[in-house]
Amino acid sequence: MTSRLLRVLRPRRGGRLPLILLALVVAAGVTAAVTDASASSGGLRFAQLGHWIAQPKENTVFHVNGNGAVDAKFRAEGMDSEDTQVVQGDTAGYVLGGNRAVRFGKSTLEVEEGYKLQAPANGEEPVALEAKGGPYYVYPEQGRIVRFGGDDPVTIPAGPGGPLGTPVVTPDGTLWLQHRDSNGLCLLTPEAEQVDCRASAPAGHAGSLTVVGKQAVFVDTDADTFTPVDGNGLGRPVRIGRDLPADAKIATADMSGRVAVLDPGASQMHIVDATGLGQGRVAADISVTLPPGKYETPVAGRDAVVLLDNQGKSVRTFDRDGRQQREGLLPKDKQTTRLSRGEDQRVYVEGSQGDQVYVVGDRGRLDKVTPPAPAGKDDRRPVPPPGETTPPANPGPTVNGPTQQSANRPRNQGTTTTPPNRPTGRTQNQAPADPPPNRPTPQRTTTTNPPSPPGLPPGLRATVSGGNIRVSWGAAKENGSAVTGYRVTWSGGSSGSRTVGRNTRSTTLSGLTRAKNYKITVAAQNAAGRGTAASTRVLLPAAATSRSVRVSRGGGTTHSPDCNRPDCAWIKTEIRGFPPNSSMDIDIYSSRWGRFNGVKLTTNEKGYLMVDDRFAYNGSGGTIWATVNGVSSNRLSSW
C-alpha cells in the first residue's frame, strides 16, 4: 500500500501533483473526470472524456468532447502531414506521427518533451490504442509494443510467434495480442513489463480477437466458434450459426453484447449475439446486406456499430438489430479517414487532416464537428527535437493564448497566465509552483532493425477456370530485404506446393479433384525467411455434364392380376449428369393414361441414379416416357 501511495503523490515532470492537475483542468475548461484508484491503475486517474484531433497543416491539436464541441486547442509545430494521431493517457497526451512522439500536459496544454522512436524497417503504420496504463503503439508486423505514459516510452517485445493480428484491450486495461503464425495469445497488464503468453488458439486456424463485456474472446473463422480466453488459457468454444470467411473483419469490441463481423467478399455484415457466451450460447441471428464498397473493420460504440467506406466516402451507423440509423457522405478527396473508439466508448470519424470530424452520438446520430480556427502565434508550442525538453513558456493553462502583458511578466512575480474570462483555480496572490529542477537530458539512440521476413501478400484471389484454379496476389512489403519468391500451397481433394519468382503475381493450379473445397495460401520469402501467408478458400465444382434421362424395358414382373409376364415389365429409368446427392422428382407418363406413376429419389455422389424396380407397365400398346426435374427422356414404344 505504501509504494502505491508514493506513486500517486510523486510529482511528474512539470512539478504538478495529480490533485493540482485536476484543479487546472477545471480552469482550462476541458471536460474531465477523476476515476477511483484501481488495482491496475495504481492511483488517481485523470480521464478526459472525448478525443484529441490533430490538424497537421494548421499545426493545431484540439479536443472534442462527447457532444461534438471543441473545448480546447493548442499549437504544436512540426507534425507529419498524413499519419499523425493524438492519443491520451492518464495525465498526458501524445502527438504521434512517423518515428516521433511529443508529450503534452492535458491540464496545461503545454508541450513537455519530444521523443524519437525506433522506425520500423518496413515502414508499417502502428496501431494506436488508448487504455489504462497506456496509451500504446503496437507494430503488428514487427511484433513490437511501445508503452507511453511514464517518463520515457518503453519498448516491450510481443513475444515469440511471428507477426500480430489486430490487438484489443479489455476494460481493465489489459492488452491482448494474437501471434498469427503460432496462434499464441498473449496479454500485457497495465503494470507488467513483459507479455504473458500462456494461452493458444488451435494451430493453423484463422481468426482474431475481440472483447465481449469484460472478456477477451477468440473468434475462430475456421471452426466458426467464439472462445473466451484469459491468462490461464482458452475456455469452452461455442459454435455460432454462420460460416465465417477467413478474411472476415471483426470489431475489436462488442456493442451491448453483440459483435459486428464484416464479410467483405459477400458485402454483408453479421451481428453475432454473444450475450449468452458465459452460458455456452452464441447465435448469429442478423445479417445486413451492404451496398458495394471497400469497408474498413466495423467499430462498435455505445449503442451503434459504425462502418466506414473509404472507397465510396461514406460512413454508416447501425443499431444492435442491424437496422441502419444514419448515413453521412464524406468529401471525395484523397484524404484518408479512420475510425477511433475513445475511452468514453464513443466512435470518432477522423480525417487525416483533422478537418473532417464526426462524433457518433446516441442512436447512431452523426454530429459534425466544426474544426476550430488555427491556434494563434501566442499559443505557439514548438515541438522539441527528439530527446530535448522545452520548458513551458507560461506556468498556467492556455486555451485562447496569453495576453501580452502576462506573457512579458517575470516568472518570479506572484501571478499566473490566465485565458480571458477563465478562472485559474487559485487566488491572485498565490505563487505558482516552483519550476522543476533541471535534470540531465536522457540520451536516446536509434537502432536499425535487421531485415525481417516479408509482409503478407495483399489482395489474394482464387478463381475457377474450367477444372483449374487461377491464383493472383499483390506485392508483399520487403521489410529490409528484397523478396526472392512466393510460396503457393493448396490442399483439399489434392494438395501440393510450388515456389514462383519474385516478380510473379499469379499462377494456375491444375490436376485438381473436382467437387472439393480448396484452401490456398501464398507467402513471400526473402533472405530473412518466409513471411506470413495470406489464405483463401474456393470450391472447385464438379465437371459440367449434359443431363440425360433414358427409359428402357427392364426385367419382367408379375405386378398385379392383370400385369403378368411377359407383357408386364419394369420400366428401367437412368439419370445422368444431375447435381450430386440431390433430390429428384421422377414422373412416369404413357400416351394411354398420362402420368400414372412417380417418386422422389436422390442421386449419388456422381449425380447418377438408376431405377429398375419401381415402375411396372403392361405393354399393350402406346408410348412411355419419363421426366426428371423437368428434363424429358426418350419415347419408348410399348413392347
Which residue do the cell numbers 521489410 mark? 479
Angle in degrees, CA 316, 61, 88, rounded to 5: 75
Distance CA 453, CA 451 (A): 7
Across residues 477-490, what is the average pLDDT?
Answer: 93
Which residue do the cell numbers 424396380 mark? 613
pLDDT over 70 (residue 243): yes
Distance CA 11, CA 394 (A): 19
pLDDT over 70 (residue 290): yes
Distance CA 396, CA 25 (A): 10
SS3 415: coil
Taking a C-beta distance cutoff of 8 angstroms, is the pair 239, 196 a contact? no
Q: What is the DSSP string of 432-501?
A: PPPPPPP-PPPP----PPPP----PPSS-EEEEETTEEEEE--PPP-TTS---EEEEEEESSS-EEEEEE
Across residues 369-393, what is the average pLDDT?
Answer: 58
Q: Which helix (H) or strand (E) holds 8?
A: helix 2-9
Distance CA 490, CA 455 (A): 20
SS3 49: coil
Q: What percent of the chain has pLDDT over 70?
A: 78
Across residues 268-282, what is the average pLDDT?
Answer: 86
Report the pLDDT value the prediction gives residue 600, as an integer from 0 to 100.
92
Q: Which helix (H) or strand (E) holds 27?
A: helix 18-28
Instruction: Please name the fold of domain 2-369.
Output: Methylamine Dehydrogenase; Chain H (2.130.10)
Q: Which helix (H) or strand (E) holds 525?
A: strand 516-526
Output DSSP code: residue 332: -
Across residues 157-179, what is the average pLDDT?
Answer: 90
Q: Which helix (H) or strand (E) holds 205?
A: none
Across residues 169-180, what is the average pLDDT?
Answer: 93
Distance CA 375, CA 73 (A): 7
Distance CA 585, CA 531 (A): 52
Report the pLDDT value the prediction gives residue 84, as an integer from 0 to 100.
86
Residue 500's DSSP bridge partners are 486
Residue 435's DSSP bridge partners are none
Taking a C-beta distance cutoff of 8 angstroms, is the pair 625, 635 a contact? yes
Taking a C-beta distance cutoff of 8 angstroms, is the pair 50, 43 a contact? no
pLDDT over 60 (residue 430): no
CA-CA distances (angstroms) from residue 319 to 67, 179, 363?
A: 19, 32, 7
Domain ranges within the chain, ordered by starting residue:
2-369, 461-540, 548-637
Distance CA 250, CA 419 (A): 45
Q: Which residue has the higher pLDDT, 278 or 245?
A: 245
Burial class (CB in 10 A: 0-12, 13-18, 19+), 152: exposed
Across residues 422-444, what is the average pLDDT?
Answer: 42
Confidence of residue 361 (pLDDT cuts 50, 70, 90): confident
Report the pLDDT value the prediction gives residue 376, as an integer from 0 to 100.
67
Taking a C-beta distance cutoff of 8 angstroms, is the pair 584, 540 a contact? no
CA-CA distances (angstroms) from residue 45 to 90, 111, 425, 576, 638?
A: 5, 20, 20, 74, 94
Q: Pick from 185, 176, 181: which is nearest to 211 by CA?
A: 176
Digit-coded pLDDT (tens) for 555-579: 888 887 878 888 888 999 999 988 8
- Of 118-122, 341-345, 482-486, which one has max mean pLDDT? 482-486
Q: Pick from 342, 277, 343, 262: which is nearest to 309 by CA?
A: 262
Digit-coded pLDDT (tens) for 338-350: 898 887 788 999 8
Phi-psi region of 436 (alpha: psi -120 to 50; beta: other; left: phi over 0): beta
Distance CA 95, CA 75 (A): 11
> Which contacts (CB < 8 Å, 24+ apart) does range 502-509 have?
505/472, 505/473, 505/474, 505/475, 506/470, 506/471, 506/472, 506/473, 507/470, 507/471, 508/465, 508/468, 508/469, 508/470, 508/471, 509/468, 509/469, 509/470, 509/471
Confidence of residue 410 (pLDDT cuts 50, 70, 90): very low
Confidence of residue 413 (pLDDT cuts 50, 70, 90): very low
Sequence-ordered list of residues with C-beta below 8 angstroms from that of 438, at least 6 positions apart, any chain? none
In 541-582, where do the E strands start and end? Answer: 548-556, 568-576
- The CATH number of 548-637, from 2.60.40.10, 3.10.20.30, 3.30.1300.10, 1.10.3720.10, is 2.60.40.10
Report the pLDDT value the prediction gives residue 289, as an integer from 0 to 100.
92
Report the pLDDT value the prediction gives residue 618, as an integer from 0 to 100.
82
Across residues 546-562, what is the average pLDDT?
Answer: 87
Across residues 360-387, what is the average pLDDT?
Answer: 72
Report the pLDDT value the prediction gives residue 545, as an integer from 0 to 100.
63
pLDDT over 50 (residue 45): no
Digit-coded pLDDT (tens) for 603-616: 998 889 999 988 98
Distance CA 201, CA 179 (A): 10
CA 419 to chain centre: 42
SS3 279: helix
Confidence of residue 43 (pLDDT cuts 50, 70, 90): very low
Distance CA 517, CA 109 (A): 58
Q: What is the DSSP string of 126-182?
A: PEEE--TT--EEEETTTTEEEE-SSSS-EEEE--SSSSB---EE-TTS-EEEEBTTT
Report the pLDDT value the prediction gives residue 318, as an integer from 0 to 100.
95
Which residue do the cell numbers 450459426 mark? 241
Q: What are phi and psi of 508, to 5 degrees?
A: -115, 130
Across residues 123-152, what is the average pLDDT?
Answer: 87
Report the pLDDT value the prediction gives residue 19, as an integer from 0 to 100.
26
CA dihedral sign, ordered 347, 350, 355, 356 = negative
pLDDT over 60 (residue 407): no
SS3 content of the chain, % helix, strand, coil (to 5): 5, 40, 55
Taking a C-beta distance cutoff of 8 angstroms, is the pair 246, 263 a contact? no
Report the pLDDT value the prediction gives residue 408, as an integer from 0 to 100.
37
pLDDT over 70 (residue 49): yes
Report the pLDDT value the prediction gives residue 14, as an integer from 0 to 100.
37
Sequence-ordered list of residues with C-beta below 8 angstroms from that of 193, at least 6 positions apart, any chain? 154, 156
| Least confident segment among 505-509, 517-521, 560-564, 629-633 | 560-564
User: Whole-model pTM?
Assistant: 0.56
Report the pLDDT value the prediction gives residue 449, as an integer from 0 to 100.
61
Confidence of residue 546 (pLDDT cuts 50, 70, 90): confident
User: What's the CATH architecture for 461-540?
Assistant: Sandwich (2.60)
Q: Which residue has the higher pLDDT, 84 or 449?
A: 84
Report the pLDDT value the prediction gives residue 441, as an integer from 0 to 100.
44
Mean pLDDT of the chain: 78
For the chain, report the end-to-end CA distance as a whole number of angstroms: 103
Strands 268-273 and 258-263: antiparallel
Across residues 165-178, what is the average pLDDT?
Answer: 94
Tell me if 461-540 shares its fold with 548-637. yes
Q: Pick from 257, 136, 236, 228: which is nearest to 189 by CA?
A: 136
Across residues 240-258, what is the average pLDDT?
Answer: 89
